[in-house]
Structure 1
């Protein structure tokens, strides 16, 4: 599996992912990593419905995703890991699969969240997960669309 990007966007499958990111990388598969969605048939069906025909969707829990990525299942296929928060990415790292960087997109405002960028709000739990990922050497960038400048926010989220 050629992981071309690891992206956080709490909307998951939506217009920007389908209209910009999939064509940007000529993606063949989106791998959503989420320990709740993997057990929610309604949400899985809804997410699959939103996918363009030329790109497949897989949905894994953190542990299973880490195992599959370590074993390089689907090697040679262009893949984006997509999560709605940094927590599943931290869980994958703790299970043995660490990504080199994360591209942060939209993270909506929620109770207890602090704004760090125009469309990016993080909760204390997410800040802690980002901090642990940075300690492991993961770089953090904010980039909403491929046309936007990718900005390093690693120091901000330590």
Structure 2
């Protein structure tokens, strides 16, 4: 599978991703998995402007990513997959995406009542999704930039 890194970050394509993570993993494809973005030509065009030279943007709905997880049809290249929230990622994992680790940046959803770290806040639904991901044996690593130390979220999720 050509996925170099899966990152959950509500901002999706932004400076930390384009300058830090895509370079760190050698990604030449930024795969955004988001129903909202997939339905918005305006959002897609904004993200295209931020894609680093030599890389390309692919935007899929959660259903398209789930289908790819089921049949293994990922974009050609080294893929950095970006998902805005754990609920969408849990759907793709349920469809067959096998992961050992997920990189987590800023995750703040409307109505989030649970502060898991200073970077990660969650709704009740997101807590269940994080638990589902952890139950799949996925290491949940909060890390803003590649050079920074990782903080595991699994233990905090297990307390909830």
Query: Which TM-score applies when normalising by structure 1?
Result: 0.89
SS at structure 1 position matched to 2:128: helix
1:53-96: CA deviation from partner (whole Å, max 9, x where unpaired): 21111111122113324424345x21111011111111112222
Structure 2 stretches lacking a partner, 5+ long: none
| Structure 2 residue aligned with 1:63 | 63
Give the structure with the higher percent helix.
Answer: 2
Structure 2 equivalent of residue 43 of structure 1: 43
Distance 1:44 1:2 in 2: 22
Aligned partners of 1:65 and 1:112: how far apart in 2? 25
Indicate if the aligned counterparts of 1:114 and 1:122 stay in contact, CA closer than 8 A.
Answer: yes
Quick check: 2:10–2:109 contact (8 Å CA) kept in 1? Answer: no
Matching residue of 2:134 = 134
Runs of 4+ in structure 1 over 6 Å off = none
1:101 aligns with 2:108: no
Residue of structure 2 in register with 1:123 after alignment: 123
Q: Which residue of structure 2 aligns with residue 3 of structure 1?
A: 3
C-alpha distance after superposition, 1:24-63 (max 9, x if no partner): 1121011111122211211111111221121111111122
Could you give the per-residue CA deviations for residues 81-130 of structure 1, whole angstroms, max 9, x where no partner exists? 10111111111122222322211111237433322212221121111111
Question: 1:63 and 1:3 mapped to 2: Cα distance?
Answer: 17
Q: Name 2:19's counterpart in structure 1.
A: 19
TM-score, L = length of structure 2: 0.88
2:93 and 2:111 map into 1 onto residues whose CA distance is: 27
